[in-house]
Amino acid sequence: MSTQSNCVFCRIAAYQEPAKVWYVDNDIIVIKNRLNWVPVMLLVMPKEHLSQVQIWSSDLMPKLGEIAVEMGCIFAPGGFRILSNFGRHGMQSQSHGHLHVVGGVQLHEYA
């Protein structure tokens, strides 16, 4: 499994950094985002360090999507969004690819 020592998500997946873990298996980990713009902010990510582009073109993407939907249904039964940011202009803050599950409140139109 590919990890990077300077990647906080790799360190979380290796249990070297603290995080509230909501789901874990051999390939995927779901954590509560430290940001709290809305009540539900989860990060669904591969344990292996893959870029955002790599996760979308990997065999793991269907499983990431399935887990993201499952977590959304559990934690935001009234509705949720699944987001994926690409690059600095797309507001991607971490090089470790991941999906955001956001909800728990009435969401509004995009700016």
Q: Provide the domain limits for residue 31.
A: 8-103
Q: Say what the pLDDT of residue 108 is.
A: 85
Closest C-alpha among 8, 45, 49, 11 to residue 29: 45
Burial class of 77 by CB neighbour count within 10 A (0 to 12, 13 to 18, 19+): exposed
Q: Is 1 part of any domain?
A: no
pLDDT score recorded for residue 111: 53
Asked whether residue 44 is assigned to any structural domain, the reply reads yes
109 located within any domain = no
More confident residue, 109 or 15: 15
Q: What is the DSSP secondary-structure string of 57-111?
A: TSTTHHHHHHHHHHHHHHH-TT-EEEE---TGGGT---SS--EEEEESS------
Question: Does 20 reside within a domain?
Answer: yes
Find, among 82, 102, 98, the residue nearest to 12 by Cα: 98
pLDDT tens digits along 22-68: 999 999 999 999 888 888 999 999 999 999 889 999 999 999 999 99
**Total domain count, the chain:** 1
CATH of the domain at 35: 3.30.428.10
pLDDT tens per residue across span 62-77: 999 999 999 999 999 9
What Rg, from alpha-carbon coordinates, does the chain have? 13
Structural domain includes residue 108? no
The verdict on residue 110 lying in a domain is: no
Read off the pTM: 0.89
Q: Inform me whether the pLDDT recorded for 16 exceeds 60.
A: yes
